[in-house]
């Protein structure tokens, strides 16, 4: 990722923070609408899960310029996700829902360059999560 893309990520994430819980709630509503069976992988009360989502996304944005720190953490998280029933196909759904939720939240500020930066970050995150899940299966 380029420094300009990292700045776009940080700027857009900062714009989401004032409505972070509502944005996370929208993300999960969108996710369960896109793939209803995924609901079974989550607790009934999503309050703590919403906070974890915001923390994880914020961490990935914050460490986008430090992949040597971010990548091992993501591999470990991917192992945990796989143990909890997350399958490789779920990552494509989550990525699409994340982009849609960011677009709903940011509106016109989620322009082409910003979307591309988020897509690149998500590809990195999902790739490492998948790698961690594959390590569990091996």
**CATH number of domain containing 53:** 1.10.490.10
* pLDDT level of residue 136 (50, 70, 90 thresholds): low
Whole-number Å distance between alpha carbons of 107 and 118: 14
What pLDDT digit, counting tens, does each position of 7-66 carry? 999 999 999 999 999 999 999 999 999 999 999 999 999 999 999 999 999 999 999 999
Q: Which domain holds residue 122?
A: 3-137
User: Which residues does 78 contact at the CB level (< 8 Å), separation at least 6?
Assistant: 128, 129, 130, 131, 132, 133, 135, 136
Token pair for 2: 């380029």
Helices (H), the chain: 3-16, 20-34, 47-62, 67-83, 88-106, 112-137
| Inter-CA distances, 22 with 29, 85, 105, Å | 10, 26, 9
Whole-number Å distance between alpha carbons of 123 and 115: 12
What pLDDT digit, counting tens, does each position of 56-76 carry? 999 999 999 998 998 899 998
Q: 43 — alpha (psi -120 to 50), left (phi > 0) or beta?
A: beta
What pLDDT digit, counting tens, does each position of 77-130 carry? 999 898 888 898 999 999 999 999 999 999 999 999 999 999 999 999 999 999
pLDDT given at position 138 = 65
Whole-number Å distance between alpha carbons of 14 and 9: 8
* Total structural domains within the chain: 1
């Amino acid at each position: 990722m380029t420094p300009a893309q990292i700045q776009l990520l940080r700027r857009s994430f900062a714009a989401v923070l004032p409505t972070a819980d509502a944005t996370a709630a929208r993300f999960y509503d969108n996710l369960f609408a896109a793939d209803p069976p995924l609901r079974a992988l989550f607790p009934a009360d999503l309050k703590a899960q919403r906070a974890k989502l915001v923390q994880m996304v914020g961490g990935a944005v914050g460490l986008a310029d430090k992949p040597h720190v971010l990548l091992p953490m993501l591999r470990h998280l991917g192992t945990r996700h796989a143990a909890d029933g997350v399958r490789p196909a779920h990552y494509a759904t989550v990525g699409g829902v994340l982009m849609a939720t960011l677009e709903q939240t940011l509106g016109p500020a989620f322009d082409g360059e910003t979307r591309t930066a988020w897509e690149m970050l998500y590809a990195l995150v999902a790739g490492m999560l998948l790698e961690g899940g594959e390590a569990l299966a091996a």
